[in-house]
Amino acid sequence: MASRSNLKPWKYKLAKAKAYWETGYGLTHYIKYPLAIFGFATANWTEVVYLGILYFFFCFFFGYMWYKTHMIDAVMELANQHNPYVQEMRKRFK
């Protein structure tokens, strides 16, 4: 596995931006359904495009804040508490 020092800077930044956007999208994916209904119901396509672009940036910003406030660490710890392998390792190294 490549360490961070072996990665090219643009690859690392791209992967980080992808993680931010995917996290934000995963947390707000239910918003896309009202946006889609609005898009099908309206004849104003420029407004739909603007809302889509706004939603894209909102997902990115929300994911960015999720990482910067360390909420990702809380989610990972919650997943670790229910992982049998992690429970076994914690008992073994306690």
What confidence tens digit (pLDDT) does each residue in 28-81 have?
989 889 888 988 898 888 988 899 899 999 999 999 999 999 999 999 999 989
pLDDT of the residue at 48 = 87
How far is residue 13's CA from residue 15's CA, in Å, rounded to a whole number?
5
Helix, strand, coil tally for the chain in percent (to 5)? 85, 0, 15
Question: According to the model, what pLDDT value does residue 7 have?
Answer: 74
Mean predicted confidence (pLDDT) in 10-27: 93
pLDDT for residue 1 is more than 60? no
Q: How confident is the model at residue 4, as a pLDDT?
A: 60
20: Cβ contacts below 8 Å, ≥ 6 apart: 60, 63, 64, 66, 67
Residue 2, pLDDT > 60, answer no
Q: What is the pLDDT of residue 36?
A: 86
